[in-house]
Amino acid sequence: MSIELKSVSKKFGAVAAVNDVTFSVNEGELLALLGPSGGGKTTVLRMIAGLELPTSGDIFIRGQRVNDLSVRQRNIGFVFQNYALFKNMNVFKNIAFGVKIKKWKPADIQARVEELVQLFGLEGLEKRYAHQLSGGQRQRVAIARALAPKPSVLLLDEPFGAVDAKIRQELREWLVTLHHELNVTTIFVTHDQEEAMEVSNRIVIFSRGNLEQIGTPREVYEQPRNEFVARFVGVMNVLDTEVAGGLARVGELEFPASGHPDGTKVRIGFRPYAVQISSDLTAHRYRAVLRHTYFLGVLLRVELELPSGLILRARMSKEEYAQQGLADGKPVSVNIRQYRILGSDSESLRPEVATMYDTIVGAGEGI
């Protein structure tokens, strides 16, 4: 393992920022720490870097316990959200800063900076200062500077949060390519679910200082451990009801709830992609009206209203939408082909598939 946290907690006075967190990071992995503000993810990153000390628990880097080691002794590269470039230094000197501190030979410094300038696409910018660079260029310089001393681990705190959407997308793709080329163990903090899903090998999800789930993007999306994860990662329809006669009923909808006694209050959850829509009113069990369509590019987000007034969110491709001749206000038939009975934040989710449903949706059909 490259990094291990064992029962790590952090308190600031009476406030518990991180509660008994245990996880490991594989060598060469690109791992995302995901969660809302105040979830504990940045505190975890800072403890790995040595910028914060754990109240309890142990942190290991390549098998060595580092709780008592300084930031410099940990051989960590750290990139802040605001770049933190030295304003009085040009690009070359910014990148060279860490290796100069380590007293590399001038020839080795020159070679290392030139290597990173080429790798990061910064040719011709070596003499420019931070204020002469775009946001994307400044972030590349910051990451190049962190990588110059050849750290064992690269830590990124909200690395793309300060740039606009277009540049952010370009930087995501660039980071994945860079990681494949360098294979440096990398941990990055983000509150952006799409960013974590797109970039990382695995995702560690935090909420209120607790580690809620660890898994691949597909696992946390398709197999969320609890309601928090189900709601936070992607979009989910959540319906509150109670079981009667073995069924959980919400308006016209009926969901088999075997194993749940009558009178049990439950929450039914299903992803938008699990909602089947057809312009053929005999194709599916339920009727609805297509209330509104949001065009998102390749995928469309659709709102449906059932006769009871219940609103459902669905997604479909623009090709399917066009082929069926759908339009706002048009009546359609609807079915739910996969759902889950949601557990509380401390419980797991139970997948339920009813006999009236067709197939289980596979990954890759869109969030």
Interval 176-210: pLDDT, tens: 888 888 889 999 999 999 899 999 999 999 999 99
- DSSP line for 56-89: EEEEEETTEE-TTS-TGGGTEEEE-TT----TTS
Q: Range with the lowest mean pLDDT among 21-25, 133-137, 208-212?
A: 133-137
Q: Give the 3-state secondary structure of residue 17.
A: strand
**Predicted pLDDT at 343:** 64
Residue 64: what residue type? Q
Q: Is the C-alpha dihedral spanning 124, 128, 130, 135 positive or negative?
A: negative
Q: Is the C-alpha dihedral spanning 295, 298, 301, 304 positive or negative?
A: positive
pLDDT in tens, 295-304: 988 899 999 9
**In terms of DSSP bridges, do strands 299-305 and 311-317 run parallel, antiparallel, or are they unpaired?**
antiparallel
C-beta of residue 242 within 8 angstroms of C-beta of residue 264: yes
pLDDT in tens, 207-233: 999 999 999 999 998 888 888 888 899
Average pLDDT score over residue span 158-183 = 82
